[in-house]
Structure 1
Amino acid sequence: MPNRGDRGGSRTRAHIADVATGLFLERGFDDVTIAEVAAAAGVSKVTVFAHFAKKEDLLLDRLPDVVEIARAAVRERADDVGPVTAIRQTLLALAEERHGLSVLAEGIEPFLRIVVAAPTVIARLRVFEHEVEVALAEELASDRRFTGDAALLAGLVVAAYRVVVVATVRRRLGGDDLADIAAAHRQRLRRAFDAIEHGISAEPRPPARP
């Protein structure tokens, strides 16, 4: 159980991230400095860096949750449920509740615009994908119920989810109806995980005309 210091640290971290995100939404990511975030949050720059290694992490403060969600899906599944099914169910549940990590939350478009407009944030996301992949592979490798290729499965899962999320982000920024986007997101998730479990069947191309 976390102690009071841990809870206080979590509150401070969340407060700093909230203040930073507000500033980024107001002025843009590149036009806000760490010093300005610290001043607005009422803390020192040292305190900011004690909680966030990089400026990009202030905006992406929820991403560490992804690692624990992925690990928990594998670790806490029932013995008769495979890891692919468990991860699929977890991601579908996030989509159903419009969780922020599914990019289906209401009103998330301004946040997404900041992300896609900042090359350093995109670069941080790519690094984080690798971190999630490594963590998931470690969890699979340590699970005695799983006898497959942990690194390969983790790579496939992360790549598949990236494809689904990128398509969803594009539609959200394109102004499509959120209910339609959510339905398509869930459908594509199912197709992606079907492909991981059963392989991709391609329709044969029609013969070329003479």
Structure 2
Amino acid sequence: MTGLRERKRARTHAAISEAAIALFLERGFDEVSVAQVAEAAEVSKRTLFAYFPAKEDLVVHRFADHETEAARVVLARPPDAGPLAALRDHFLDGLRRRDPITGLNDVPEILALTRMVVEAPALRTRMIRFQEASERALAEALQDTAGVPALTARLAATQVVGVHWLLSMDNSRALLGGQSADERCPAAVADAGHAFALLSEGLAAHL
């Protein structure tokens, strides 16, 4: 019974999300109300809020798996790999795989979602909370595995997450401006290498 209940919840969650994203992309995030999303998904507003506490969560949850991604990379790195090197390699691999979180993905549906996040003030504000959660998780992972003091871990996490975000936004803006992912890729890889080199020079004594 528990498995059936969880599957039903997952289907409802997916249905609400898909209805919301379709409406947002068609009409604009600010032009669609929660009531309209609930109607399109054939659920009550109360049910919708049980799954998504805020309107912004209907979009940001698409990035939920990435919120603790940097922390997971640090925790899962090989014993002989430093945290910063592991994070750099993971980001570069994401560029090669065209992972949407790197901003280097020009699939039309993903690009449209990226444009919405970039252009909607409420979503940009919500992404700040996403970044803060990423920083906290990464700081904890650095403390646990790199043996650095709490302040050092927090400062390092803030810099790393900030660099990730800046690189991703630069890539997204390039693609939204008309470049293809393949055209942008060499510059994206070069920018990432430069950014992590700067981080390494500043953090090498600790990480």
The question of whether the paired residues in 2 share the 8 Å contact of 1:104 and 1:182 is answered with yes
Task: Provide the alpha-carbon RMSD of the alignment.
Answer: 2.0
Q: Which residue is 2:141 aligned to?
A: 139
Of 153, 158, 162, which aligns to 1:155?
158
Aligned partner of 2:115 in structure 1 is 113
More RCO (CA 8 Å, sep 6+): 2
Matched, 1:164 2:163: no
Preserved CA contact (<8 Å) 2:67 2:130? no
Q: Give the helix-richer structure, 1 or 2.
A: 2
1:78 aligned partner, one-letter code: P
Q: Report the AA paired with residue 147 of structure 1.
A: V
* Aligned residue pairs, count: 198
1:123 equivalent to 2:125? Answer yes
| Contact 2:92 2:192 (C-alpha < 8 Å) held by counterparts | yes
Assess if the C-alpha contact under 8 Å between 2:68 and 2:134 holds in 1.
no
Question: Which residue number in structure 2 is paired with residue 32 of structure 1?
Answer: 32
Q: Amino acid of the residue matched to residue 142 of structure 2?
A: L
Alignment match, 1:54: 54
Runs of 5+ unmatched residues, structure 1: 201-210
**Identity over aligned pairs, percent:** 36
Query: 1:164, CA displacement in angstroms?
Result: 0.6
CA contact (8 A) 1:16 1:38 kept: yes
Higher deviation after alignment, 116-125 or 181-190: 181-190
SS at 2:32 equivalent: coil
Could you report, residue by residue, the CA deviation over 1:67-116 in whole angstroms, capped at 9, with x for unpaired residues?
Answer: 23222101111111111111112222222111222222222332222222
Please show how residues 176-191 of structure 1 align to structure 2 within 5 Å.
Answer: 176-191=179-194
CA 1:8–1:84: 2 relative to 1, 3 Å = farther
Q: CA 1:30–1:186 in structure 2 vs 1: closer, same or farther (change >3 Å)?
A: same
TM-score by length of 2: 0.86
Alpha-carbon contact 2:104-2:168 (below 8 Å) kept? no
